[in-house]
Amino acid sequence: MDTIQKPTTYDVGGVRYPRPFKIRRLGHFGFNVADMDRGLDFYARLLGFRVTDTRDFSKVPGREEMAKRLQDPRIVFMSHNSDHHAFLLAHKSLGAIFGDDAVSRDVTVNQITWQVGTMDEVFAAADYFRDRDVEIRRVGRDMPGSNWHTYIRDPDGHTVELYYGMEQIGWDGRSKPESMYYRAFRETPELPQISEEQEVRDAIAKGIDINAGNVIQDRTGEEYVVAGTRLPRPFKVTNIGPMSLFVTDVGASEAFYTQTMGFIRTEVVTWKGHRCVFLRNGSEHHSLSLFPKALRGELGLNPETSCASMGVEVGSYQQLRDAVSFLKKQGVPFTDAIPPELYPGVDYAAHILDPAGHCLMLHYYMERIGWDGKPRPAELRRKVGKDWPEAIEPMSDTYADQTFMGPLG
């Protein structure tokens, strides 16, 4: 019998790649937590993520029975930019029902989501994964958010999503109304699909009030002046990432993310005998780091989550200093567990803990990789001590990362 030959290269927008997709950036992530209200207070009131939508499964037709088994039936969608969501918060009981922790009980990250450039890439990726026996969780289109997606699992059971077409929240702060959710898909759709613009025209033609969606609101006041703008906090989250994970087998996870997903290895750090790998998919030093689970206990981090840390970038070094002061006054716990050797390319950073024990890394800078694909040699990086100066000298790539497109507030 003839063996079907898998293609060695694919056409991605006229460029030949080893895979039928190319990851552009970390799009969003989520946590499953035991106390939703405390989580919402932390991420919304303290960090400034804005609630764009709440999906209550007790009010979703066909989901009522499932909702009765949940301690909290909500998924809360939050954002720091114009994306419908950059962060999702759900209860741990929902994660268990959805199978987020089906492989390992320490998986409290409900998804790690990477953006590709086109719809073709999303669904070509699904075929590519099937050919390689990668477990596919689901394929289709999510509502709310309107993003077309393919969900898979990594070797440790983390849900990994490739997506295209995230709904954008404009100046009026309104998301799409639920009456437009009829364009959701629970399985692979036929291509081509109509444009987003045509969807809106069709909704208007059906008599749908397209302005009836949720309105973003932040009622915490504007007590602080941040570089000329009045804001509720003395800082603004302008980016997310990198994501750092504790994994069972660093080599196996590295192979999955580089060979299957197309990440590029930037750097390897051996810390106290543990091999730690830093991967990227753009010009950032890394968007994902992989640590062995044996390191988790040595660092004294939460044994109930495989998340080592999640990066939260603010707009400047001054904002980072002010964020540290603000959050300390609010009683947020800080930790020195993660040494600078385990976040190369990041410069100054502070680590905080959310109410569920997830570690977040506050930072303002990420080293950029140039055309030659080489990171800055370690000896040329800034030496960061415990005492932070009021002002610092710029590096060659300071403020060279992605520009935050909208107003700060």
Tokens coding 275: 């091999």
> Of all residues in the chain, what percent carry a pLDDT higher than 70?
99
**Which DSSP symbol is given to 123?**
H
Q: Say yes or no to pLDDT of 18 above 80.
A: yes
With a cut of 90, say whether residue 402 has pLDDT above it: no
pLDDT at 2 over 60: no
Is 111 in contact with 160 (CB distance < 8 Å)? Answer: yes
Number of neighbours of residue 172 by Cβ within 10 angstroms? 9
Q: Using alpha carbons, select from 62, 53, 58 the residue that is nearest to residue 94.
A: 58
Please report the pLDDT score of residue 225 as a whole number: 97
Q: How far apart are CA 245 and CA 230, in angstroms?
A: 36
Mean pLDDT to the nearest integer, 172-178: 95
Q: What is the pLDDT of residues 137-160, one digit of tens each?
A: 999 999 999 999 999 999 999 999
The residue with greater pLDDT, 1 or 54, is 54
Structure-model confidence comparison of residues 218 and 94, the more confident one: 94
Give the pair of three-digit tokens for residue 22. Answer: 């190319």
Quick: pLDDT tens for 303-315: 999 999 999 999 9
- Amino acid identity of 146? S
Q: How far apart are CA 180 and CA 202, in angstroms?
A: 10
Q: Provide the pLDDT for residue 218.
A: 80
> Looking at residues 324-343, what average pLDDT do you find?
97
Predicted pLDDT of residue 62: 83
Sign, CA dihedral 309-312-313-315, equals negative
Cβ neighbours for 240, distance < 8 A, ≥ 6 positions apart: 26, 28, 29, 80, 86, 87, 310, 311, 312, 313
Residue 5: is its pLDDT beyond 70?
A: no
Q: State mean pLDDT over 251-261.
A: 98
188: which residues sit within 8 A by CB, 6+ positions away?
123, 126, 139, 140
Rounded to an integer, what is the distance from CA 318 to the centroid of its chain?
24
Please check whether residue 235 is in contact with residue 320, taking contact to mean a CB–CB distance below 8 angstroms.
yes
pTM for this structure? 0.95
Say how far apart CA 312 and CA 93 lie, in whole Å: 26
Q: pLDDT of 261-278, one tens digit each? A: 999 999 999 999 999 999
Q: Mean pLDDT over all residues of the chain?
A: 95
- Closest Cα partner for 78 from 111, 50, 55? 50
Rounded mean pLDDT, 13-23 = 96
Identify the pLDDT of residue 345. Answer: 97
- Whether the pLDDT of residue 1 is over 50: the answer is no
Question: How far, in Å, are 118, 194, 320 from residue 191 at the CA level?
Answer: 12, 9, 45
The edge-to-edge listing of strands for the beta sheet with 359-363 is 264-271, 274-280, 288-292, 237-247, 307-314, 359-363, 349-353, 334-335
Confirm if 150 and 189 have CB atoms less than 8 A apart.
no
